[in-house]
Amino acid sequence: MLRAGLQWVNGYMHWLAGRKATKNSGIVQTTSNSPIVQSNSNSLLVAAIDFGTTYSGWAFSFKNDFKSDPTKICVKKWHEGVLTSLKCPTCVLIQSDGETLDTFGFDAETKYSELCETGEHKKWYYFHRFKMMLWNKRIHEYTMLDDESGKSLPARTVFSLSIRFMMDDLIKMSQQQVIGLDAGDIHWVLTVPAIWDDSAKQFMRLAAQEAGIATEKLTIALEPEVASIYCRHLPLQKEGDSDIASFRTGTKYLILDAGGGTIDITVHEVCLGGELKEVHKATGGAWGGTVVDQAFMDFLGQLIGKDKLDNFKKDQMEDYLDLMRDFEVKKRATDLTTDRKVTLRLAIELLEVLEANNRQIMTQFMQTFKHASKIALVSGKLRLNFEIFRSFFVDAVDNILQHLSSLLLKPETSGVGTILMVGGFSESPLLQEAIQNKFPAMKIIVPQEAGLAVLKGAVIFGHCPTSIKSRVSKYTYGTDCTVPFDETHHPLEKRILCDSGYRCDDIFDVLVRAGQTLVVGEKQHAAEYDNSSVYQSGIEFNMFYTAKTDVKFITDDGCKKVGSFNVPISGTGLGRSVIVRVMFGGTELEIECEEKSTGRITKGKINFLQ
């Protein structure tokens, strides 16, 4: 039940007349070893959905198989004509009612291109590479999402229909192996970038719930760390000690998850017993493979004109998709040793969208284009000098290298000697070689099928969520409260009058600080708060965060409200206390509140989508 921002797990909660908390200095901080993340060993099967910006997929493994070989994982094979792939494009075609999913992946691309050719596409909704909508933006439950033609649907509908498709597809295939298997036998894992904020994670959980996944059957997993877990189970080289699995206790290594949309980076240290701990907060940015794609499209726009390129994408969708698939192949195959031109099968299709004298127009463009001598049209194909092709990578690669350089200078990353590259963009030889050239003293490891490391690692994490021992807080989190007003320390404009006397308003009461190590399964903070009004029926808590470590008031620069929750209290009068315990160590923040007079405990999660 959702009331005033808190998703309660146990019990019934009446609507509250909430007031701000009054800080009680009796309890400052405590820890507990009470586990928060429960083992999923009772589930017959663990299934993972890797919902990527450009490509998505699903995989699963049975409990018994996991015990004998954690890497024995079944991955969906997607088909496009005669080709087979272990990932499919993240695109969805929704019927005109805005509620019914028609097709997903390759089938959605094909059908939408057919609809475009007949002019029937205008009534349909086609969404492509829409995951980036959740990156670095303030979202709420009713955020809208624009499709390729500008029509809008609720983002939650688009995400939930996509998740539902993969969920149903996975169940159908798994039932071929176990007769009578149903959703209750499955524990689900949904991957998200580690650099996403709390609202984006909660949005994905709600979309999964709307798709039919029970919240207690769902784990949110962070992409770079599950890839790290997978590689710990995978011998990467047949000789020497270069594989992650052989790393000794105390070894630090950096995980670079280079996907289509984001670059997600974390740093792990191997603990005694083989678990992993995060030693630096997750960082990264929107420098993934789609940045390379956009640079290529900008180049084509310069070459033939942006309007003509837009018309080509709209009117010749199938040819456009073929072009981008061909470019994707070249993206993953071209390396620094290339001494020939890169050939793309696109010229004939593009020339067909030009006017009758389009070859003459193309020639004119090439004569005025600054790189004309490095471009050639041969037998209906566009041949690019390698220098031109490599230029498409410059923005993405430069941002990645600059970020890595800055990160590796920090004290927390001292001793890192290995960079583990995972994610689809990590399969690019140009990116691999650029990183190796920039950091020649580093050992660069790229596992086979680097694009599947997150997906397979998510399955392993679902079976064994205790693989991660601790994480590092990205932000300083706190609640707003009041304290007795002290004219020697508090500004006069913060003074308010309550039943208990003059108090200082807008205090940022720190729960955890940015950079603090958070042990998984422990309550990192507990504090006691009193009511400030005689007739309060509940205490209202607003959660704030900031990237700063030193903060006094919730009105300080950089402080943002991320959510709120209310705690019910019994009786009347002052001095009615609530103990709030906060668990930050998991992939999602959790709250436990205890009314001191009754011992009543309620558990929940902050609503970050207000």
pLDDT band at 37 (very low <50, low <70, confident <90, very high): very low
CB 349, CB 316: distance < 8 Å: yes
**The residue type at 548:** K
CB 106 within 8 A of CB 79: yes
Tokens 């400052």 belong to residue: 28
Instruction: Tell whether the model's pLDDT for residue 223 goes beyond 90.
Output: yes
CA angle 480, 221, 186 (to 5 degrees): 120
> Does the pLDDT value for residue 598 go beyond 50?
yes
357, 356, 354, 379: which is closest to 303 by C-alpha? 354
Provide the residue type at 203 as one letter. Answer: F
Least confident of 140-154, 295-309, 407-421, 457-471: 295-309
The Cα–Cα gap between 391 and 398 comes to 11
Mean of pLDDT values over 510-534: 82
Residue 2 scores a pLDDT above 90 = no
Residue range 300-323, pLDDT digits in tens = 888 778 888 888 888 788 888 888
> How does the average pLDDT of the chain come out, rounded?
83
Measured CA distances, 393 to 243, 290, 305 (Å): 28, 10, 21
CB 9, CB 22: distance < 8 Å? no
What structural domains and CATH numbers belong to the chain? 2-37+471-606 (2.60.34.10), 45-225 (3.30.420.40), 289-391 (no CATH)
Residue 20 has pLDDT above 80, yes or no: no
Range of weakest confidence among 236-240, 410-414, 476-480, 602-606: 236-240
Q: pLDDT value at position 259?
A: 94
Instruction: Indicate the range of 397-406, 457-466, 468-477, 558-567 predicted with least confidence.
Output: 558-567
Q: What is the pLDDT of residue 470?
A: 93
Cα–Cα distances (Å) from 195 to 126, 139, 451, in that order, read 27, 15, 18
Q: How confident is the model at residue 14 (pLDDT cuts 50, 70, 90)?
A: very low
pLDDT at 457: 96
Q: What is the mean pLDDT of residues 200-218?
A: 93
**Residue 240: pLDDT band with limits 50, 70, 90:** very low
Residue 364 neighbours by CB under 8 Å, 6+ apart: none
- Name the band, by pLDDT with cuts 50, 70 and 90, for residue 243: low
User: For residues 344 and 322, is the Cβ–Cβ distance under 8 A?
Assistant: no
pLDDT at 21: 57
At residue 391, the pLDDT reads 92
Alpha-helical runs (H) found in 146-247: 155-174, 198-211, 223-232
pLDDT at 507 (0 to 100) = 93
**Which of the two residues, 141 and 357, has the higher pLDDT score?**
141
Residue 126 and residue 91 in contact, taking contact as beta carbons nearer than 8 Å: yes
Backbone φ, ψ for residue 195 (5° rounding)? -85, -5
3-state secondary structure 127-170: EECCHHHHCCCCCCCCCEEECCCCCEEEHHHHHHHHHHHHHHHH
Q: Tens digits of per-residue pLDDT, 153-204?
A: 999 999 999 999 999 999 998 888 887 787 788 999 999 999 998 888 989 9
**Which residue type sits at 316?**
Q
| Pick from 531, 579, 494, 113: nearest CA to 317 | 113
Q: What is the pLDDT of residue 364?
A: 61
Phi-psi map region of 348: left, alpha, beta (phi>0 left; psi -120 to 50 alpha): alpha
Q: ∠ CA(329), CA(332), CA(334), 5° rounding? A: 95
How high is the pLDDT of residue 305?
80
- CA 537 centroid distance within chain: 38
Which of 131-135, 461-465, 516-520, 575-579 shows the lowest mean pLDDT across its residues?
Answer: 575-579
Closest CA to 3 of 455, 565, 465: 565
Angle CA(330)–CA(333)–CA(338) in degrees, nearest 5?
Answer: 95
- pLDDT score for 219: 95
For residue 127, pLDDT over 80 is answered with yes
Over range 425-441, report the average pLDDT.
95
State the residue for tokens 């704030």.
544
Q: What pLDDT score was predicted for residue 137?
A: 75
Digit-coded pLDDT (tens) for 558-575: 999 988 877 777 777 777
Structure tokens at 564: 């709120």
CA-CA distances (angstroms) from residue 368 to 302, 342, 364, 372, 373?
10, 21, 7, 7, 10
